[in-house]
Homo-oligomer: A and B are copies of this chain.
Amino acid sequence: MRVGPPAVRIREVGPRDGLQAEAPLGVPDRIRLIAALAAAGLREIEAVAFVSPAVVPAMAGAAEVLAGLDRGSGVVYVALVPNLKGAELALEAGAEALDVTMSASPEYNGRNIGQTIEQSLRGLRSIRAAAGDLPVDATISCSFGSPYEGDIEPAAVASLAAQAVEAGATSLTFADTTGMATPRRVEELVAAVGPRVRLHFHETRGTGLVNAYTALHLGVRDFDTSIGGLGGSPFAAGAAGNLATEALVHLLDDEGLASGVSLDRLLEAAALAQSLIGHALPSPVAAAGPRSRLAPA
């Protein structure tokens, strides 16, 4: 029997978005975690970021991580790059896809990557030229609102997205960087940009899963998630991290939507992540296990 493509595609961002807020792990530990995620069936993994190690110490050694990964296993390893220099380093190191981040919030763009949005778009154009045939995803942060400007009109987000595509992005990810998305705002943004996009949610206000569920019903089939719900600082009140990969897979399994990911293997990867970082994960499914787990007799 032929196995069809997954109904829902997950880009695992734990090794990048998840680990960047944690105390740095060594390169071998990061490679082990990525291997465990690949073994769970994840086929696209944002593995590294080519950013300044002085600013984000947890992402140091990106080239070494990429060099240590099992290539040819059918997994696409993505590198986040903030600018052309990062992209050049990522390409040299053998990244198979790039993720370029920019923000729908001018203030956040300035604070996060020290650029105006115009500069970010110019940077994307130069990255596109350097990347040859490789996929270049544009992740647009603060797509559901900004802690600086407040609500951001879906039409403005859609306009920036169109400029990113014009500048060479081969796919688009809309990120809810600070947990301001709600089902209604997911509906509004998807109405503006269409369902053939990737969405990236955080649990800052506990809405990540309901937002993903809403998006599924609107036909969205691509999501960023992070193993264990890692992503927010575990030391800051209210920073509850990314939508957990196991939370989404738990929901998809129950809905009968194939993701190609094994929840059991994913929970093994979550246990590994917890042992490596040395504190409890924010994800309830990682802690409680799947709903099928019965009490001991």
Contact = CB atoms under 8 A, between A and B. Distances in A.
Interface of A: 145, 147-148, 150, 179-180, 182-185, 203-207, 209-210, 213-214, 237-240, 244, 247, 250-251, 254-255, 280, 283-285, 287-295
Contacts of A283: 206
Number of copies of this chain that the complex holds: 2
The 8 closest A-B pairs by CB, nearest first: A238-B287, A238-B288, A206-B284, A147-B295, A210-B210, A182-B254, A180-B291, A237-B287
19 contacts: A148-B295, A150-B294, A179-B291, A182-B255, A182-B291, A183-B251, A185-B254, A203-B284, A204-B284, A205-B247, A205-B250, A205-B284, A207-B251, A210-B213, A210-B251, A237-B280, A238-B287, A238-B289, A240-B284
A293 B207 CA distance: 16
A113 B250 CA distance: 31
Given A179-B291, A205-B250, A237-B288, 14 more contacts: A147-B294, A148-B295, A150-B292, A179-B284, A180-B291, A204-B284, A205-B284, A205-B291, A206-B206, A206-B244, A206-B285, A207-B251, A237-B280, A237-B287
A285 B254 CA distance: 26
Contacts of A237: 280, 287-288
Interface of A is mostly: loop
Nearest to A247: B206
A67 B85 CA distance: 70
A295 B204 CA distance: 14
- The residue among A148, A150, A284, A289 with the most chain B CB atoms within 10 A of its own CB is A284
Nearest to A291: B180
A3 to B, nearest CB: 23
A293 B238 CA distance: 13
Contacts of A206: 203, 206, 209, 244, 247, 283-285
Nearest to A254: B182
- The residue among A147, A238, A250, A255 with the most chain B CB atoms within 10 A of its own CB is A238
